[in-house]
Amino acid sequence: MTGTSDTVENEEVLEDIEIEAKFVANKIKFLIDSKFQVYDNKKKEFRNIQPKDIVILMRSTKNKASIYEKELQNQDINVYSDTSTEYLETYEVQIIMDLLKIIDNPYQDLPLVHVMRSPIGMFTDDDLLEIRLADKTDDFYTAMLKAKLSVREDLRFKIDNLLDQIEKWRYLNNSVDLDELIWTIYENTGFLNYVGLMPNGEFRTANLKMLFERAKQYETASFKGLFNFILFMEKVKTGGGDLGAAKLISENDNVVRIMSIHKSKGLEFPVVFLACTGSSFNMMDLNQDILLHQNLGIGAKYIDYDMQIKYDTISKLALREKLLEENLSEEMRVLYVALTRAKEKLFITGIKNEFEEANSKMQELVDIYKKENGKINPILLKKYKKYIDWILLVYLYNKQNAKEIMKINIIKKDEVLKDNNKEEKEEINFFELLEEKSKNITEGELQDLKKKLEFNYQFKELNLIPSKDSVTNIAHLVTGNKSENMAQKRPATKHEKQYDLPKLEDVEEEITPAKRGTVVHLCMKKLDFSTDYDLEQVKQLIENLKANNIITEKEAESINPYDIFKFTKSNIFKDLQQAKEYHKEEPFYINIPANEVMNVSSKENILVQG
């Protein structure tokens, strides 16, 4: 057991919470790896523990649940919290919001660097350093433009690719609704599928889809456009509000749950962790100048205007004492709920600084204040206002009986953190050992070492084969256009223009091949598979899209209705018409041999996503 004093700084408290979360995550990992046995009521037999058998309870999950989520995810354990890190603070939403910010204005260093380091940009820290060295004083976007002239080829390719994508999305932003822009970003980057493969992927995917829906709803309001949407989201964030993360949890989802004690009422779990018991009860309301009790009335401080002081009155002190007793009684009821949620195993964790000294003082008070009517002396209950202290009081008052059901483990902070330093220590020992061994090395051993270091891996070709790729990239590989982006290449000087917020009435609409493809795609998506189209009906469909302001007049003119008409007469369309069920815009994954799409001999599979 470990916990905090009331006077610690905020940074130290945060550190304590992180250490406790790390301990809990390590313990849960140990239970799962060691195949701890729990009883299955349905099968009437014992089985290996699963994440869904475990719950972490806290008096309040605010500002704590996200820390526990992070530590559990570091252990590759799926986790869910009903507060699941405030929606706008989730990793996946932050990345897309930062990307939208640089689409609106790329001269913003923090969002730009965040996107560059993300799976969308794939820039390393060394890449960022090399770009910054190209220009140490200007903004990062300008530094990227200058770095293109001097950096290595692979980094230049990354820069060109990101700049081309940003410009493509900026052009698209002028012609489509915000929600369609966001979905196009998901499709172009594969980010939606990427987060789906991360821990808690289902929730992350749902959060991105919720962002798409939020943008769709926003477009129906009086304020429209990317810039206003970013302002709206920033106001929600800075105002302390939130939009609420996606909720996809069900009873059978195999995740560790984090919830408040209050929300656990009526529920039971095989294994319960009661965490953060070292936090003090919230008694701030008792320090107000005016106190109110539903039965006893009002108690206020007396203000002496002549002496310029204020002090408690008897009525306020009496009310404070009564409210304190009622608050402590409520905390006891809450603690009872927490302690009775576990069916098989209960872990209680909390940070308590200088445990030995504090425990010794508590023992002295226990010896002084004997039990009253077989219960803990109320004087001590009022003195100690933490769950961890109340539990220790129970233990000290009932040592003989408590030892049969309770076991107190005192774990120091450095013991929790020692595993993190293990690799570093092993590395230091390795180099010391290497230096010692190298003193007596023979010529034969040296040649043997050289042979191993110069070993030529016979399957080097496999390094060129990606384990996963998108349909677009595969198509580029097949057609030999891998060097080209989804956006059409433009002269190198295109990135050097200033990106002031454009006045839409001054922007002359340009229908690029990429934009035309998006418009045709949208038109085909609106086809009704139960209709046997003729050419005039296809033209009417395009007119309807234009009339409803879904596409512009210039975009409508760019569509060749005969191409769509031909598609409606194809075998694919006929199959769709006869299908009992079909899905639009659904992600898919298939395995294909690498030698079918790449110039390699290996038949190693590539996971293709689309």
Encode pLDDT of 165-185 as tens digits.
Answer: 999 999 888 888 888 999 999
Domain boundary among 192, 215, 238: 238
Mean pLDDT over 285-306 rounds to 88
Let me know if residue 40 belongs to a domain: no
Mean pLDDT over 64-88 rounds to 79
Is the predicted pLDDT of residue 497 greater than 60, yes or no? no
DSSP 64: T
Domain boundary among 238, 267, 294: 238
Per residue in 389-441, pLDDT tens?
Answer: 999 888 888 877 777 788 888 888 878 877 555 444 444 454 565 666 666 77
Let me know if residue 417 belongs to a domain: no
> According to the model, what pLDDT value does residue 272 have?
96
Average pLDDT of the chain is 79
Is the predicted pLDDT of residue 304 greater than 60, yes or no? yes
- Proportion of the chain above pLDDT 90, given as a percent: 20
DSSP string, 229-246: HHHHHHHHHHTT------
Q: For the chain, how far is it from start to end, CA to CA, in angstroms?
A: 50
> According to the model, what pLDDT value does residue 495 have?
47
Domain boundary among 238, 270, 288: 238
**What is the number of structural domains in the chain?**
2
Per residue in 348-402, pLDDT tens?
Answer: 999 888 888 888 888 888 888 877 777 788 888 888 889 999 998 888 888 777 7
> According to the model, what pLDDT value does residue 335 have?
93
Distance CA 322, CA 472 (A): 70
Which ranges of 490-587 would DSSP assign to H, the alpha helix? 513-525, 535-547, 553-558, 561-568, 571-578
Mean pLDDT over 442-449 rounds to 78
**Domain of 218, in residue numbers:** 88-238
Give whole-number Cα distances, 412 to 2, 3, 19, 20, 244, in Å: 7, 10, 10, 10, 37
Is pTM beyond 0.75? Reply is no
Helical (H) or strand (E) element with 401: helix 399-405
> According to the model, what pLDDT value does residue 387 have?
93
Let me know if residue 442 belongs to a domain: no
In the β-sheet with 79-81, what is the strand arrangement from edge to edge? 79-81, 256-260, 54-58, 269-274, 342-348
Let me know if residue 380 belongs to a domain: no
**Encoded tokens for 605:** 């599979």
Residue 57 binned pLDDT confidence (cut-offs 50, 70, 90): very high
Let me know if residue 525 belongs to a domain: yes
Q: Which of 391-400, 426-435, 453-462, 580-589 has the highest mean pLDDT?
A: 391-400
Per residue in 204-256, pLDDT tens?
Answer: 888 888 888 888 888 776 667 888 888 888 877 765 555 555 555 555 678 89
Let me know if residue 569 belongs to a domain: yes
Let me know if residue 126 belongs to a domain: yes
Let me know if residue 42 belongs to a domain: no
**Residue found by looking up tokens 């916990």 in the block:** 3
Is the predicted pLDDT of residue 8 greater than 50, yes or no? no
Q: Are 255 and 52 in contact (CB under 8 A)?
A: yes
Q: Of 551, 585, 556, which Cα lies nearest the Cα of 177?
A: 551
- For residue 165, give the CATH number of its domain: 1.10.486.10
Distance CA 269, CA 260 (A): 14
Is the predicted pLDDT of residue 11 greater than 50, yes or no? no
